[in-house]
Each structure stands twice: as C-alpha cells, then as structure tokens.
Structure 1
Amino acid sequence: MADTPNTVSVTSNLHETVPVSVESTTSTSSQVKEVKTTNHRPNHKKVPLHQIYALPAPIRTFPLPSFYPNNPISLFHAVYAWVSQLVYPPPSEPAVIHQGIWSPETRSVHIKDPKSIRALWEQGFFGKGNYSRSEPNWFKREQARRGEHGGNVAENVTTQRREERKMMKWDRARKEQEAIERTKLLEAWVAPVGPMELLALPNSLDDLKPAFSSSLAIGSAQDSITDGLESVNGTPNGPTLNGATSPSSNGTARAHEISSTENGTVSALPESNGHPSRPRTPTGASNSKRRKSVRFSPTVESATFKLSDPPNPHHSAQSNGSIDGNLANGVSPVSRPTELGLPEPLDNTRNSRSRPESDTQLVDKEHLQLCLEETFYLVFALGALAVLDPVTSKPFTASELFTLCRQTSYIPPRLTDLQPDDPFLMHYAAYHHFRSLGWVTRPGIKFGVDWMLYNKGPVFSHAEFAVIVLPAYTNHWWKIRGRQPPHRSWHWLHTINRVQTTALKTLVLAYVDIPPPFDESLGATEILKRYKVREFIVKRWLSNRNRD
C-alpha cells in the first residue's frame, strides 16, 4: 500500500476550490464537421463532446489568463483582462438555480424539469436517470425504438456490441467443435496391413452413400458382398475369419441401420474405429418412434410462454417436441385457452396488442435522481439548486437540509442523538474533498465501493479510481474512550481489491478523521471544517510481474 502524505481538510469556501475551466469559444465552424448523408436529408451538425460538456460545474467562471515571467506579453494580457472585468464585471453566478423535490420514500431529490435535467448532467454529471443506466436518455431511447429519429443512444450501442460479442463467441465455439471433429476423424483412421484386416474392416461411408437414396442399391450391395464371400470362403453365411466378424454380417447390419434411419428411427452408425457416431436428429419422424435430442440455437429467445400468444410460423417444427405444429404431449400451440380449460384473456389486452405504438403520444416520464451528497453539494457549495418540501412546497435552507440529510442517513432515520460519525458526514466529507480537487465523483455501488472517480466524466472514459470511505478515530478524545473503527478482515480487502483489479480500477481507501462531539447548533461550515481526509492507494503486488 502506498501512503499519500498530503492531508487535505474539507473547507466551506468552495467557490475557490471549484475546478476552473476556460470559457469555451462560440465560433465552432473550424471544429464542427458536417455529416455526409447518402440520401436527400438535410445535413445536420454533430457537436463534439468537449463542447457539450465544457463546464465542469453548473456555474461559469471567468479566470484571468496565465502569466509567464519569460513572456512580457502575457503580463499585458493579464492586466487587460483584469481591467476589463473591473469595468464590465461578469454576471453573478450561478445564473440559473434549478429546483428539485425532496422524496422521503427514496431519500433522494427528484429533478423533473427537462432543462434542469440536461443542465445538471452536462455540467458536472450529477444524478442518475431513474429509467436509465446513468445518463437520463430514456425519452431519446424510446424515440429511437419507434423510429422517430435515427440517432443511437448509449444503451442501444452497448446492447448491439454485446450481441455481436455473443455471436462472435458462438461462432468461435462452433469452429473449435468442427476442428475437434475433424481431428477425431483423422485419428480414427487406421491403415490396413493385410487381407485379413481388410476383410475385418466395415464398409466405408462412401460405399454406403447410395443406400440413402434407394433401398435397391442396398439390396444389390448386400448380394454382391455375399456372393463375393461365398466365392472366397465357400460358405453362404460368411463365417468369421480368425475370430473377426465377416463383412457380410457387418454390411447387413449396416444396411438395416441405414434403412431404419430412413424409417424415422435414429441409429448409431459405426465409424472406422468401431465406435458409434453421434446421433442425428431426424427431419420427418413419427411421434412413437422418435428419440429425444438436444439442438442448440445461436439466438437466445425468451423463456416465457403464454397460452394467449399467437403461434410463431417460423417455429412450426422444433426439436423440443413439436413437429408440424403438434406438440409431443398432444397439445397444439394453436389451441385456444378455452380448449385447454383456461380462462379467456381480457379484450383490452388484445386491443393493446393490436393498437400500434405510433398512435399513442410519447411522454417523457423520466426524472433525475440526486443522492444526499450530490444534493447538499449543489445547495451548499455551489448554490445552484433549491430543494422544495413536498408538503409545503417551500425551499429548504442550507442548515435545514444539512440536518435532514444527517437524519435520513441512518437506517431507520433518527431525529435525535446524531453522532459525529454519521454516514452522511463521512461520505460527504470524501465527496466534497474529491469534487474540490476536480474529480467527477459518482456513486460506486455497482463495483461494491462508495465512490467512483472520473477524470473528465463517464462519457469520456471509464473511472480510474474506486474509493471506499472508512472512519478514523485518531483524536485523543476517542482514544481515551477506546473507540475503534469497524473491523475489516483481510478477506474483505482482498475481495474488494480483486473486483477493482478485474475492472481495471485502482482501489483508494479514504480515511476520514472523526472529530470529537460538537454542538449541534453549529452551522454546516463550522462542522465540516473539523473533518480531514487521508488517501491510501492499494495495489496488488505480484512476484512474477512486479520484480522492478
């Protein structure tokens, strides 16, 4: 484990620690390219991602240009920008204050305005769509599914890539199986060494191919084999030679096996080494003489079957017991539910199935969901969000929201007896710490951790670090009372680190120094100043790889 010596305290003056970005230019003619279309559609411009997500927070900043001592022109540039901002001061930020509604059931804040949803996502990647994986694009995904626009969304691209990967794996497994079968056939062939061994060999498949076309060829082949053996051995029945079975008996059995295959039964055809071949599924067989067989399909279909669903014309003859539309158990898929003793489905279900989706108007039902830490950061640190009470429809103050978040962080929520090491204070201290350093911090429950750290955002790259928040009782007040952090076993750490290594992420242990109990009447600014965050990076050391 590597220790980071820097200890950063979480302060309340966050307008100075918010990551600064240069204001994006308005002229994009040199960077935007027109998409060439083959048909006669109007050309549309595709905006680059770095312009859509130009602001790292829902506020604008106006920094002074950098000064370089070896370049005197940079000094005049900085002075000019400073004087221009004095004469024409920029507008106060945040220019837009978004509104959200507190949800006591989910212990989160819901943003329902579409403009606020896009603004909070594009300016800092705050929140998560309740119908989406991360980005709130359910409405665009439904439009693409109905064919209203030809654009693709992230979920559809991911699904398409998974299907292509699945088909690639299936094709690779098929080729490997074919290679194994060819190798078995080559290894099973044994070169004959004498006349006795030649007579002991069974007939080859090439000699018996005409038997599949007509039974007359089979009879002529049997007669010719029998006559040849009678002329050699002098016995009509074809006796054995040195204990080996005569070819006549083999050929006769072979013919009977092939003829039985034509009649609908599955017989094992002997190979050249004497072992039976793999059974084959018959194409047109009766239910009484048919054997069970398993056939795998390259496509994965739904395993749920409803009797009210119409039959599929492409699956009239399947290997699971249905032949020509008749099931092996005597029930036809075309049968109505009333014939099977089941109730008739409701008429509204049929009407909903028959009614096309294009007739119904698509309404955006998705909202943005903010966790407690994201909500308080937007309210307290940036001032870009106002949380409304669902009962009175009045906005919470920063102190009221701070107390509400602390109370609801416990399970079950508690109104009194709040402790300095409550879950909200610990996780918000770490969240505030990494957000102030310029990292895009998002919940990491998917990977079994508390927070995920992105360099620019999830649309640009994957998360680089996975953070687990742990309390540290380093104050003398806790040591006197013998307070210890929760016990974590070595197996727990190894499991978490194994998951992050598999996902190509670095595990970070964020220790939050818990201060002694304080007066609850203090504000959020005075309370958060008492917390400090220390970071430790955990890496796996492998003796055969990390030798340097």
Structure 2
Amino acid sequence: MSLISRPPGSGRKKPFSNKPGGRRNDNNRIYNCPLPIVFWYPPPTRVRSLLGLLGLTLTKVETLQCHGVFDEATRSVWVSSKTDSTILWRRGFFGKGDLSRSEPSWLARQINSRRSGGNRLTAEEMTAKRRAERKQFKIDRAKAIAAVAAEAEAVFESEGRVVVPALSGPSIPSAATWKPAPAPEPPETPVTPQEEEVPQEDEEPPEDLEHLQLTLPEAFFLLWNFDCLTVTDPHTDELMTIQQIWIAFQTAQLTPPLPTSPKPPLQFDNPFLINYIVYHHYRSLGWVVRGGIKFCVDYMLYKRGPVFNHAEFSVVVCPVYEDPADQELSVVDIHNSAAFPWSWLSTINRVNTQVFKTLILAYVTIPARSRVSLEVLNSPACLQYYSIREVTVRRFIPARMRD
C-alpha cells in the first residue's frame, strides 16, 4: 500500500475501465499516487545492485506536508490552501469540498460557467449533464408511448380494431438509440461599429471560497500514520500535538446535556474511536474509503478511487459491547449499537444490491471497563484493545442467481 511509484521496468497491467481512453489516461497520470508520500527510485547502477545484495537501498521517501485547522462545531479539519487540498485529493482522495459533492471543484465550475463553449467539464457538471439527459430521455419515451397509445385509440374508434400499443420499435426511443437534441443557437445580435472599437477587458477570476473538509478519522490517519498533516488550534493559533489532537477529536464527539455543562469523560464507545478503527482497518488494506451516506451506510470501499470505478463494497459499522452492562451505563448515543430489526437490514441490503454493491457489516468489539482502565484512552495505544469482525450480507435474487 505504501508503494507509490514503481521503478522503470516494473509495469503492471491496467485495470479494466469503461471510461474513454483519453480521460482514463489523464486519470492515471493525475491520480498515480495513492497516498501523500512518494518513493523516489534512483536509476539502475552498479552501486544500486551491490547495495541490493547487501539488503540496502538508495530509495528516498518524500512526505508532503499539508496544514489544516480543527473545527469543533463541524467535527472536521479545514484545509484552506489550494495546493494542500489538491495534494490530499489527488493522492488518496482524502476529504471533500464544502461546496462540492466530493472533489473541490467549485472554482473550476465558476470559471466554466463564465466561459462560452468550455469543453472540459468537472465531475459534478458531467453528473448533472447525465442526469438531465436521463430525465429528458424518460420524457421523450413517455411522449412516444402516449402517442402510440393515442394512435391505437384512434384506430379502435374509426375501424373497431383492437391494436395493442407497442412498447418498443422504431418510434419508441431506447437507451441505445436515443440522442439528446442539439441545443438551440442563440440569435445573432447586430454589432454596431462603436461596440467593435471598445476593447473587451478580461474578467478577473472569481475568488476561491471553497475549502477541503477532512473528517476526524481521515485527519488522524494522515497525521498519525504518515506525518503529512499539521493541525492548528483555532483558539490559540498554535500547532497541536498528537496527544492534544487525539483528546480533542474524542471530546468533539461528546455532547454535554447543556451548553454550560462540562463534557463527560472519555469513553470506550466514543464514535470517533469506533469509526476510526474501521477507517484505519480498510485503509491499511489498500482500499480507498469514502463516506456512504448516499447509500444509507457508513463507508464505501473503492479499489483505486471514485474517478476510476464505482465502489464495490459498502460498510455498516456495528459496535458490540464486550460487557453488556457497559451499554446500560454509557452516556454516548452511538448508532447501530442496539439490535436492529430485519426490516432495516433488508432495506439497506436491497438499496445496495440494486446498485451492485456488496454489503459488509463491520462489528467493532468495545473492550469492557472491568478489564481495561479508562486511562488508556489518553493515547492511541488504546486501539490494541479493540477488534473487528466482518460479515458479508448478500440478497438472494432468483432471477439473477439462477445460473
């Protein structure tokens, strides 16, 4: 997972993708590094061969440094630098733009909207275009079916013959034959000689108002495992240590009963701990982990990233208490900790099966207070007391699984 760039001659087969060739090549070039660290390999020399025999190497590791600000209200880390946002997104798909669906592309969308005839669209603009075309296709198909039905009614009234309206044929558009109608050209307006003489001033580019938001598990994964992120305290404007960040991320998830009340002490069932354990588990196995609220789950797992292929697996985090008595004494309202009904499981499984995703239930075992002291929560060393079990749930569909 940590191998970012390969030495010359160590090629790898390209994964299958249904994207056009030019766009696929651009994505392979832009997103060639899966993590914000780079391995630099020296050219093959005799010295390198001798060091290889001794178990040594001249490979250098470069860690890119990014900076963010902790925001307790949104429970996230804000990265305002455009350069840092680009690094974190293109090297691992970390975070999301606060004004975008995923990739921070608000500025590019604003620039494209000002240009006339811009050919290169952002990911959000392409999605919006496909949705508009799909909606128009359904409207055109419904109109064509209604016209065929009206023609059958006219034949019955005039000739008395019963004609069954056809739902397919040359007059009924299908997904393979339908094409969007070309956009009408705007009418030409005559230009006066005075307007031709006035030079057109270049518009100033809009100010980038978007920042990258990192979830707490994403931020801690970057700063603890790769040391490529620094976090600033918004109240003191000073850099926070790992221990301070660890405590602050846990405290942000504990909501006091009243705004003036002190926050409760750290708990083993803290939502940040539960979610970070699952996030770290799949990231360490090489998966790209993204939020899955769109499909009613906690996480989505991608092989390379959302710009290459769709997610293959969806993950639901299910906390399990080692000691059931701890759940009764808990002050944290963590979701999925109680036994969920079969209707809930059937609904989520059906939603993910329809989009060709495999549902995974990740059971995180919370250690018992009688076995482990709460003092271990002051450092990330407490993660050794947690464990994960995975259960794959598949929906039986007779029409698909008959063969």
The TM-score, its normalising length taken from structure 1, stands at 0.56
Give 2:247's match in structure 1, choosing from 403, 426, 431: 403
The 5-angstrom pairing of residues 236-255 of structure 1 reads none
Higher strand share: 2
In structure 1, distance between residues paired with 2:201 and 2:249: 42
State the Cα deviation string for residues 265-309 of structure 1 (Å, max 9, x = none): xxxxxxxxxxxxxxxxxxxxxxxxxxxxxxxxx99xxxxxxxxxx
Q: Structure 1 CA distance, aligned partners of 2:286 and 2:278?
A: 13
Structural mapping, 1:101-140, within 5 Å = 101-140=69-108
Within 5 Å, give how 1:77-226 maps onto structure 2.
Answer: 82=52, 86=56, 88=58, 90-91=60-61, 93-94=62-63, 96-147=64-115, 150-190=119-159
C-alpha contact (below 8 Å) 1:146/1:358 kept by paired residues: no
1:410 shift after superposition:
2.8
Match of 2:6 in 1: 23
Aligned-partner SS, 2:38: coil
Q: Which residue of 1 aligns with 2:342?
A: 490
Q: CA deviation at 1:101?
A: 0.7
Structure 1: how far apart are the matches of 2:120 and 2:230? 34
Q: Structure 1 60/80 Cα, relative in aligned 2: closer, same or farther at 3 Å?
A: farther
Q: Is the 8 A contact 2:216 2:249 kept in 1?
A: yes
Match of 2:307 among 459, 464, 477: 459
Match of 1:435 in 2: 283
Aligned ranges for residues 360-509 of structure 1 at < 5 Å? 361-412=205-256, 415-473=263-321, 475=322, 478=323, 485-509=337-361
Q: Report the RMSD for the aligned CA atoms in angstroms.
A: 3.4
Q: Deviations over 1:300-341 (max 9, x none)?
A: xxxxxxxxxxxxxxxxxxxxxxxxxxxxxxxxxxxxxxxxxx
Equivalent residue, structure 1, for 2:38: 60
- Greater shift, 376-385 or 495-504, is seen at 495-504
Identity of aligned residues (%): 37
Q: Tell me the CA shift for residue 501 of structure 1.
A: 1.4
Matched AA of 1:369: Q
Q: Give secondary structure in 2 for the equivalent of 1:457.
A: coil
How far the C-alpha of 1:546 sits from its partner, in A, is 3.3
Matches within 5 A, 1:291-330: none
Asked if structure 2 preserves the Cα contact closer than 8 Å seen for 1:440 and 1:455, the reply is: yes
CA distance in 2, matches of 1:45, 1:431: 29
**Residues 406 and 480 of structure 1: CA distance in aligned 2, closer, same or farther (over 3 Å):** closer
C-alpha contact (below 8 Å) 1:120/1:126 kept by paired residues: yes
Task: Please name the residue that 2:194 is paired with.
Answer: none
Contact 2:41 2:58 in 1 (8 A): no
Amino acid at match of 1:155: E
The answer for unaligned runs of 5 or more in structure 2 is 15-21, 161-179, 182-199, 330-336
Question: Aligned to 2:27, which of 42, 49, 54?
Answer: 49
Q: CA 1:23–1:505 in structure 2 vs 1: closer, same or farther (change >3 Å)?
A: same
The residue number in structure 2 matching 1:198 is none
Contact 1:389–1:395 (CA under 8 A) maintained in structure 2: yes
Asked if the contact 2:287–2:301 (Cα under 8 Å) also holds between the matched residues in 1, the reply is yes
- After superposition, the Cα gap between the structure-2 partners of 1:482 and 1:21, relative to the gap in structure 1 and judged at 3 Å, is closer
Question: CA shift at 1:19, angstroms?
Answer: 4.1
Aligned equivalents of 1:434, 1:361: Cα separation in 2:
40
Deviation at 1:504, TM superposition (A): 1.9
Alignment equivalent of 1:527, drawn from 378, 382, 390:
382
Work out whether residues 373 and 431 of structure 1, in 8 Å CA contact, stay in contact via their aligned partners in 2: yes
- Checking the alignment, whether the CA contact within 8 Å between 2:70 and 2:77 is kept in structure 1 is yes
Give, in whole Å, the separation in 2 of the partners of 1:481 and 1:118. Answer: 43
The worse-fitting range, judged by mean Cα deviation, of 499-508 and 427-436 is 499-508
CA-CA distance at 1:58 after TM superposition: 0.5
Residue identity in the other structure for 1:365? L
1:515 is the counterpart of 2:367: yes
Determine helix, strand or coil for the equivalent of 1:48: helix
Letter in 2 for 1:163: A
Distance 1:85 1:132 in 2: 47
Q: How many residues align?
A: 338
Deviation at 1:45, TM superposition (A): 11
For residue 124 of structure 1, give the secondary structure of its aligned residue in structure 2: coil
* Counterparts of 1:416 and 1:99, CA distance in 2: 29
Separation (CA, whole Å) in 2 of partners of 1:537 and 1:59: 32
Find the residue that maps to 1:415 and give its secondary structure.
Answer: coil
C-alpha separation in 1, matches of 2:244 and 2:85: 24
TM superposition shift of 1:150 = 4.1
Q: Which has the larger radius of gyration?
A: 1
Structure 2 residue identity aligned to 1:464: E
Give me the whole-angstrom Cα distance separating, in 1, the residues matched to 2:58 and 2:342. Answer: 60
